Amino acid sequence: MPTLWLDDIGADDLDVVGGKAASLGELTAAGLPVPSAFVVTADTYRSFIEASGIDTELFEAVDIDSDDSQALAAAAEHAQDLILETDTPPSVREDLLSAYDEMGDSDVAVRSSATAEDLPDASFAGQQETFLNVSRADLLDRVKECWASLFTQRAIYYRQEQGFSHTDVDIAVVVQEMVDAEKSGVLFTSHPSTGAPTAILEAAWGLGEAVVSGAVSPDNYVVDRESGDIEEVTVADKKVMCVRGEDGETIERSVPEAKRTERVLSPEEIDRLLTIGERVESHYGEPQDVEWAIDDDTVYVLQSRPITTIDEETAGSADAESGSEATNATAAGVADGGEMEAPEDVRLTGIGSSPGTVTGTVSVVTKLDNLDKVSEGDIIVTEMTTPDMVPAMKRAAGIVTDEGGMTSHAAIVSRELGVPAVVGAEDATDRLRDGQTVTLDGDMGTVEQGTTVSTDDDEQAEPDPVAQASSEHSPVKPMTGTEVKVNVSIPEAAERAAATGADGVGLLRIEHMILSTDKTPARYVEDHGERAYIDEIVEGVRTAAEAFYPRPVRVRTLDAPSDEFRQLQGGEDEPSEHNPMLGYRGIRRSLDRPGEFKLELRAFERLFDLGYDNVELMLPLVTDAEDVLRAKSLMREVGIDPEKRNWGVMVETPASALCIDELCEAGIDFVSFGTNDLTQYTLAVDRNNGGVADRFDELHPAVLDLMSRVIGTCREADVATSICGQAASKPEMVQFLVDEGVTSISPNIDAVRDVQHEVKRVEQRLLLESVR
Ligand code: PEP
Ligand code: MG
């Protein structure tokens, strides 16, 4: 039989219908009001691949090294195409369509139900596909798409990593009548964390998707199950709802004004839902999280799962507890496939690396995910961001990473985009789930479950740290003798950075321009030619040079460690280093690869030709004068006259600070402190190692002593001094440097206005002291 009706499914059918369908069958058998459905069994899928003869090719196609991302992408595409392009056998087709007709001629939901329930996280096995509002004409295609979901990159990778054989995993598909819900939500039959006999109901208007996606905060009802008293009712302002559009698709609509603050569930409805909840709970013998919908006064059970979040330790004392605290955990979490799960009172801490507070829906992004999954206003949760995530980061309302510090890619880019961020939150990707509503505080470095700030549209409007910073002070830019510039790492941020009124760009990193091509410089040149490589750099720099003209823009030549290059196409030719921070990066790489370096220099030359005389050239990670003199002669080779252009070096190794006399003699116009590196090398504290982060102190006397000596020598040699490391945003560093007589300070975009004020305050104090 290619299909089985829910009524015919028993506990023994788990292997042929998968977990999701088995549980619906069980609920149906218990007499609960489940919308009717049939299941395309796992045997049907298996006979489809075997009878059509694609099985051998399919399993061979996915027998690859899953760490090879290109091979993985190609394997997934090949396997999915095989399934999608193979005709469904006529007998299966007929059976499916006649089952559909038997259910009545209305649209259905089609969901995959993987049978590999023994996998630790079955969602990875390929059960994440769900299609709503599927018509008869599309039914067969959607079923095949569910089958093909067994072979997404993510699913292949996961099975391979976990040591599961691809040949052992099958998939069933549930085809279920769509309920045109007037109201829907979730019912926890016991308190989700204490297990107390307190039922929690969440309810919103329309289809469940608005609650599931976190687009709406639902009403919340707390009921004492013993007395039946409704102890607490929190009526939310429900601005949006999901409804069925004219063509059957799910669309988001504004809730009519009169219904926004209207209570969704009447006491009678709560009573009916509780009765059903109790039946589900007694059927399973443990507290349940029940997904429900009400259509035309009929209550439906859509799904039920045990509540897995009950804390065993507190469960004993649960009776005494009030259930009201659960009201904080309003928006239900969502597992893959849009299923609701019990809310956990999540609270994470990390480093607040880009200011602002924002509430949004979690979108967990793994390296294999399609970035299209990140929608406008989502909160990206990922191990660490990469350059190819920048378009998604722009759409996001906030960013949370497991790894990284204040100078990580996520921190730098989010600041420049004005997107609040918390980095280094350690296990965020494990503890947060797609669809959960969380509030992120980029100042405090916290991420909390639910909406802990107002969700008023006005207050939720794009937080703009630059605007926020300005609004705390007078809008007039303070006049300072010390220049206050700004750091820029992505050309997209140039306009926004220029609007701060900064005196120029103190550091324009070009790494992003290169890394975002997803190719190492060598591979890029091999594939597209030298001219195109130069164009990439010219276009990126030009965006900033144009936005700031005639204010100076200090452009640093390439400084990415080899581990970042190794992740790109062509990365296999990069050295594999034990400690890339002490390795092949900055000027040492450039001098070792003069061919590539000269292409960068030719980009500068072109910019000068184009009239961007505000562009300055800065060399990273120099150790001594020899580095500088060799670079200078390469500049000459491409036609740049060092005497006519403004150029200088980063001081970010203790050696360069100690050799500052020689560096000045080499003819530089400026130095800029890279305190991120200067601190790591002076204190021997890896800047990316969270384990020693408490020892990373840019204000350490040893670091300040080196800086003080450099400023003194440079003043005598008439060489300008600046800072462009993260510490430039710290008031204590600003005070120290202005006292020492630094020429300019280049902080992050969000700190510009504060630094301008701080500089002004210190300068005024110095003036006062001089006349007293
Ligand atoms: C620094 O080291 O302080 C610096 C600005 O360079 P980066 O963070 O890019 O290494
Ligand atoms: Mg550096």
DSSP letter for each residue of 205-244:
EBBTHHHHTTSSPPEEEEEETTT--EEEEE-----EEEEE
- Given 146, 659, 724, 757, the catalytic residue: 724
Give yes or no: residues 224 and 300 share one domain. yes
In DSSP terms, 40 is beta-bridged to 3, 173
Candidate from 511, 618, 652 with most ligand 1 atoms within 8 A of CB, to mutate: 652
Query: How would you classify residue 62: left for phi > 0, otherwise alpha for psi between -120 and 50, otherwise beta?
Result: alpha
**Using CB atoms within 10 A of its CB, is residue 283 exposed (0-12), middle (13-18) or buried (19+)?**
middle
CA distance 718 to 336: 62
| Closest by CA position to 175, among listed 300, 6, 385, 60 | 6
- 409 in active site: yes
Q: Is the model's pLDDT at 314 over the cut of 80?
A: no
How many angstroms does the Cα of residue 581 sit away from the middle of ligand 2?
A: 10
CA distance 170 to 163: 16
What lies within 8 Å, CB to CB, of 499 at 6+ separation is 466
Give yes or no: residues 172 and 187 share one domain. no
Determine whether the shortest distance from the Cβ of 675 to ligand 1 is under 6 A.
yes
Q: Is the model's pLDDT at 507 over the cut of 80?
A: yes
Give yes or no: residues 662 and 637 share one domain. yes
- 757 in active site: no
φ, ψ for residue 159, nearest 5 deg: -60, -40
What lies within 8 Å, CB to CB, of 374 at 6+ separation is 363, 365, 380, 392, 395, 396
Q: Which atom of ligand 1 lies closest to the CA of 678?
A: 2
Determine whether the shortest distance from the Cβ of 652 to ligand 1 is under 6 A.
yes
CATH of the domain at 665: 3.20.20.60
Using a CB cutoff of 5 Å, list residues around ligand 2, an ion.
Answer: 652, 674, 677
How many angstroms does the Cα of residue 663 sit away from the middle of ligand 1?
A: 19
Does any domain span residue 535?
Answer: yes
- What are the start-end ranges of the H helices in 30-150? 42-51, 55-61, 69-85, 90-103, 139-148
Candidate from 487, 554, 677, 729 with most ligand 1 atoms within 8 A of CB, to mutate: 677
Predicted model pTM = 0.55
CA distance 726 to 100: 62
Q: What is the mean pLDDT of residues 346-371?
A: 86
How many angstroms does the Cα of residue 621 sit away from the middle of ligand 2?
A: 7
CA distance 399 to 383: 11
Atom 1 of ligand 1, residue of closest alpha carbon: 674
Q: Which atom of ligand 1 lies closest to the CA of 559?
A: 9
Are 490 and 514 spatial neighbours (Cβ–Cβ below 8 Å)? no
Does any domain span residue 400?
Answer: yes
Q: What is the mean pLDDT of residues 290-299?
A: 92
Are 240 and 99 spatial neighbours (Cβ–Cβ below 8 Å)? no
How many angstroms does the Cα of residue 556 sit away from the middle of ligand 1?
A: 10
- Quick: pLDDT tens for 233-275: 888 788 888 888 776 677 888 899 889 899 999 999 999 999 9
Indicate which ligand has the atom closest to the C-alpha of 747: 1
Are 115 and 157 spatial neighbours (Cβ–Cβ below 8 Å)? no
* Model pLDDT, residue 350: 87
For residue 71, CA distances in Å to 293, 357, 389, 766 come to 44, 40, 21, 63
Confidence of residue 464 (pLDDT cuts 50, 70, 90): low
How many angstroms does the Cα of residue 378 sit away from the middle of ligand 2?
A: 31
User: Helix 731-740 vs helix 752-771: angle between axes, to the nearest 10 degrees?
Assistant: 40
- Counting the structural domains of the chain, the total is 4
CA distance 258 to 183: 16
Determine whether the shortest distance from the Cβ of 674 to ligand 1 is under 6 A.
yes
How many angstroms does the Cα of residue 436 sit away from the middle of ligand 1?
A: 35
* Model pLDDT, residue 346: 81
Q: Which atom of ligand 1 lies closest to the CA of 726?
A: 3
CATH of the domain at 456: 3.50.30.10
Are 440 and 447 spatial neighbours (Cβ–Cβ below 8 Å)? yes
How many angstroms does the Cα of residue 618 sit away from the middle of ligand 1?
A: 12
- Quick: pLDDT tens for 629-647: 999 999 999 999 999 999 9
Confidence of residue 19 (pLDDT cuts 50, 70, 90): confident
Give yes or no: residues 290 and 160 share one domain. no
| Closest by CA position to 449, among listed 459, 463, 435 | 435
> Higher model confidence: residue 645 or residue 369?
645
Kindly state the DSSP code that residue 256 receives in the 8-state scheme. P
* Model pLDDT, residue 123: 40
How many angstroms does the Cα of residue 530 sit away from the middle of ligand 1?
A: 27
Determine whether the shortest distance from the Cβ of 341 to ligand 1 is under 6 A.
no
Determine whether the shortest distance from the Cβ of 511 to ligand 1 is under 6 A.
no
Determine whether the shortest distance from the Cβ of 446 to ligand 1 is under 6 A.
no
Three-state secondary-structure class, residue 486 = strand
- Of 273, 308, 343, which residue is a domain's last? 308
Does any domain span residue 726?
Answer: yes
Q: What is the mean pLDDT of residues 450-460?
A: 51
* Model pLDDT, residue 248: 67
- Of 154, 177, 200, which residue is a domain's last? 177
Distance, CA of 407 to chain centre: 17
Q: Which atom of ligand 1 lies closest to the CA of 676?
A: 3
Indicate which ligand has the atom closest to the C-alpha of 511: 1
Candidate from 515, 581, 589, 650 with most ligand 1 atoms within 8 A of CB, to mutate: 650
Does any domain span residue 362?
Answer: yes
Q: Is the model's pLDDT at 686 over the cut of 70?
A: yes
* Model pLDDT, residue 664: 97
Atom 4 of ligand 1, residue of closest alpha carbon: 674
Are 203 and 185 spatial neighbours (Cβ–Cβ below 8 Å)? yes
CATH of the domain at 38: 3.30.1490.20
Give yes or no: residues 302 and 387 share one domain. no
- Quick: pLDDT tens for 30-81: 899 999 999 999 999 999 999 999 999 999 999 988 767 678 888 989 999 9
Q: Is the model's pLDDT at 323 over the cut of 70?
A: no
* Model pLDDT, residue 178: 87
- Of 438, 466, 494, which residue is a domain's last? 466
* Model pLDDT, residue 328: 29
Does any domain span residue 18?
Answer: yes
Indicate which ligand has the atom closest to the C-alpha of 409: 1
Determine whether the shortest distance from the Cβ of 676 to ligand 1 is under 6 A.
yes
Does any domain span residue 565?
Answer: yes
CA distance 212 to 132: 14
- Given 409, 512, 659, 714, the catalytic residue: 409
Are 737 and 707 spatial neighbours (Cβ–Cβ below 8 Å)? yes
* Model pLDDT, residue 142: 94
Structural domain containing residue 380: 320-466
Determine whether the shortest distance from the Cβ of 723 to ligand 1 is under 6 A.
no
Determine whether the shortest distance from the Cβ of 448 to ligand 1 is under 6 A.
no
Give yes or no: residues 721 and 585 share one domain. yes
Determine whether the shortest distance from the Cβ of 465 to ligand 1 is under 6 A.
no
How many angstroms does the Cα of residue 675 sit away from the middle of ligand 2?
A: 7
Confidence of residue 452 (pLDDT cuts 50, 70, 90): low
Determine whether the shortest distance from the Cβ of 176 to ligand 1 is under 6 A.
no
Confidence of residue 469 (pLDDT cuts 50, 70, 90): very low
Candidate from 514, 676, 726 with most ligand 1 atoms within 8 A of CB, to mutate: 676
Three-state secondary-structure class, residue 345 = coil
The 10 Å Cβ neighbour count of residue 98 is: 11
Indicate which ligand has the atom closest to the C-alpha of 679: 1
φ, ψ for residue 421, nearest 5 deg: -145, 150
Candidate from 673, 724, 730, 737 with most ligand 1 atoms within 8 A of CB, to mutate: 724
Does any domain span residue 61?
Answer: yes
How many angstroms does the Cα of residue 30 sit away from the middle of ligand 2?
A: 65
Q: 551: which 2 tokens?
A: 């204010």
How many angstroms does the Cα of residue 548 sit away from the middle of ligand 1?
A: 22
Give yes or no: residues 460 and 484 share one domain. no
CA distance 274 to 288: 11
The 10 Å Cβ neighbour count of residue 768 is: 9
Give yes or no: residues 328 and 344 share one domain. yes
Give yes or no: residues 678 and 605 share one domain. yes
Give yes or no: residues 187 and 168 share one domain. no
Are 680 and 712 spatial neighbours (Cβ–Cβ below 8 Å)? no
| Closest by CA position to 279, among listed 36, 21, 38, 34 | 34
Contacts of 540-544 spanning 24+ positions with Cβ under 8 A: 540/491, 540/510, 540/512, 540/513, 541/491, 541/508, 541/510, 541/513, 541/603, 541/607, 541/612, 541/615, 542/607, 542/610, 542/612, 543/491, 543/492, 543/494, 544/488, 544/491, 544/494, 544/497, 544/505, 544/508
Give yes or no: residues 196 and 85 share one domain. no
Atom 8 of ligand 1, residue of closest alpha carbon: 676
Give yes or no: residues 173 and 266 share one domain. no
Does any domain span residue 575?
Answer: yes
CATH of the domain at 194: 3.30.470.20
Indicate which ligand has the atom closest to the C-alpha of 561: 1
Determine whether the shortest distance from the Cβ of 564 to ligand 1 is under 6 A.
no
Confidence of residue 368 (pLDDT cuts 50, 70, 90): low
